[in-house]
Structure 1
């Protein structure tokens, strides 16, 4: 959630004329409303959005994948992490296998879960035109990871927002990175770091105890110590 808000802040402070100059004109694709971008006419020679997604945002938010989607469902830009997590979603849903991934990266369409989120965002805009709606979804891919989706409208000064910003997070990866940062910042012990990482993933005290082979009381003691260090 905090990462998504920070991404929106980056977008809101980005020069609007630079972005608008690089957005292609789009024509609907009859094959699929969520197919690839169909540029019409000449696109700016310097693709500012491509640089923004491929380098700047990917370095600023390495654990978060980002998709910019038009109201028609065309993918305008995607970060490397977004493409990686989309592959995970496709494979988890049975639509792709590791052997398909290279080919799929060239001819990919959005995973079902993201298409559903985009459609819900568009419908919510129609039902509540005067409210800013942010939608979330969480997909548990058994044996791999838990993927969290966040959808929001991007406002670049248009009369009506026409672009969706979809963030995709691997909860385990985000939790591990946050725990590593907090371990350094608050000087947590190795065991406290393990407990905090699992707590960041939403595990209960009993689940943490089972995974680390310690008692629930020990988990409570570690959590108390962690919170005390964070308050200092």
Structure 2
């Protein structure tokens, strides 16, 4: 699906195309942090102009665009979350509000967590909208790698467990790995058994020290 240039459903100003970080000498430190941040970062003005974005944010937006409509490259669901933040300031002017939403992408099985909040670049400047895009699939993949080591999973158990962490059903795991459904169930059963064993050893360790 190609990004749409306009959507009549939105009454607020349309966001501008996503821009890479400008080589501003005074903001080089901030730009360096944002460019290397583990999450996608967008910086928007209140009227929807994109003034900064890191490469991960642009990549995530491209993936979202495969399943959801966009306005000038910015997914509509992200802008809707920004609108919640903008409207909330009228109702709660003295409170720090963080608007959140989640998207499940059909084609990639990814889960994207969207968090938006006000961000003051300087005392003189108007506040900007900071959009943080967390690729929960990436986080879950890292968790699966850690658990593979912790539970001493076999390579095939690790493959099955990683897809399970990414939200695949047993049937989808079987299709992805070209194995039987019963094989998936067997690997999952073995993994849960190893988890239980590690948990039992962890609980018994303090008692062993006490004795």
Give the drift of 1:93. Answer: 2.2
Give the drift of 1:193. Answer: 4.6
Kept after mapping to 2: 8 A contact 1:67/1:167:
yes
Kept after mapping to 2: 8 A contact 1:70/1:164:
yes
Unaligned runs of 5+ in 1: 1-30, 38-42, 96-106
- CA RMSD, Structure 1 to Structure 2 (Å): 3.9
2:33 match: 56
Give the drift of 1:112. Answer: 0.3
TM-score (norm 2): 0.63
2:179 match: none
Alignment of 1:9-48 (within 5 A): 32-35=13-16, 46=25, 48=27
Larger Rg, first or second structure (1 or 2): 2
CA distance in 2, matches of 1:189, 1:88: 31
Unaligned runs of 5+ in 2: 1-11, 174-182, 206-211
2:114 match: 149
Superposed CA offset, 1:158-189 (max 9, x none): 499712211112222221123324545x4743
Q: Give the number of aligned pairs.
A: 178
Alignment of 1:150-229 (within 5 A): 150-155=115-120, 158=123, 162-181=127-146, 183=148, 186=150, 188-190=152-154, 193=158, 197=162, 200-201=165-166, 207=169, 211=173, 213-215=184-186, 217-225=189-197, 227=199
More helix per residue: 1
Kept after mapping to 1: 8 A contact 2:151/2:191:
no
